[in-house]
Amino acid sequence: MLDLICLDADDTLWHNMRFFAAAEEALLAMLAPFADAGIAREAMAAAELRNLAHYGYGAKSFTLSMIEAALDLGGDALPLSAIREILAAGKTLLAHPVELFDGIEDTLDQLAARARLVLVTKGDLLHQETKLAASGLGSRFAGIEIVSDKTPDTFRRLFARYDARPERCVMAGDSMRSDVLPALAAGAWAVFIPQAGAWAHEAAAPPEDRARFATLDRLADLPAWIDRIA
């Protein structure tokens, strides 16, 4: 029997990275007079990593990083209109519709019959709350945890808060770095559900010890996997 089933939100319950990819493509088009696409992508990636410690994760941080990358490449020649366009792209990113993956509601109902569900997501608090409200999924969770980052200590504190034993908890999500490895380090089981177009920053080598780890094609496969380990 499990105590908790913890689930990521973005690109686990609903589509997310494809909207960030569209915003980045818009940025590349704006910066075409100053740099080719490859150089612009590198500048954007570098700005994102530099800014994580300052702005954290999410669409607002991404927008500020787009502005910084544009200034790095365009300098004083960057027109004011480009900044306006980047801000507009960022607002579009914040307002994108929440598109659930197929069968998510049924899958969550199946999982809730097996253990308490806790949503564990990182990013901007207001944006994540807005997306959760728009998803209509909030009532299916016994707890909502919006965190600045996912580390082993994050999961240890979470398990303690819900009076759950780590070895009786599962974390599932699309990030090896943020969902799988820290949950395993905290003593839980972990499931990797990869998605196309994932952010390179979230990539990591899979764990060497596969005893409490699995890779599944989709979240809908999780209930059956839980039944096997139980």
**DSSP sequence for 153-182:** HHHHHHHHHTT--GGGEEEEES-IIIIIHH
User: What is the reported pLDDT for 61?
Assistant: 94
The residue from 94, 118, 148 where one domain ends is: 94
Domain boundaries, position 39 = 17-94
Q: Model confidence over 54-76: pLDDT tens digits?
A: 998 999 999 999 999 999 999 99
Do 55 and 111 lie in one domain? The reply is no
Q: Return the number of other C-beta atoms located less than 10 Å from residue 173's C-beta.
A: 28
User: What is the reported pLDDT for 84?
Assistant: 95
Look at residues 167, 218, 222, 160 and name the one whose alpha carbon lies nearest to residue 189: 167
The residue from 94, 114, 132 where one domain ends is: 94
Do 11 and 21 lie in one domain? The reply is no
The mean pLDDT value of the chain amounts to 95
CATH of the domain at 113: 3.40.50.1000
Do 196 and 151 lie in one domain? The reply is yes
Do 21 and 78 lie in one domain? The reply is yes
Q: How far is CA 52 from CA 21, 72, 148, in A?
A: 18, 17, 10
Do 152 and 196 lie in one domain? The reply is yes
The whole-model pTM stands at 0.91
Number of domains in the chain: 2
Do 73 and 118 lie in one domain? The reply is no
Do 71 and 110 lie in one domain? The reply is no
CATH of the domain at 88: 1.10.150.240
Do 66 and 138 lie in one domain? The reply is no
Do 86 and 142 lie in one domain? The reply is no
DSSP 122-140: ES-HHHHHHHHHHHT-GGG
Do 126 and 67 lie in one domain? The reply is no
The residue from 94, 115, 137 where one domain ends is: 94
| Residue 115 near residue 90 (C-beta atoms within 8 A) | no
Do 177 and 196 lie in one domain? The reply is yes
**Below-50 pLDDT ranges, the chain:** none
Do 55 and 113 lie in one domain? The reply is no
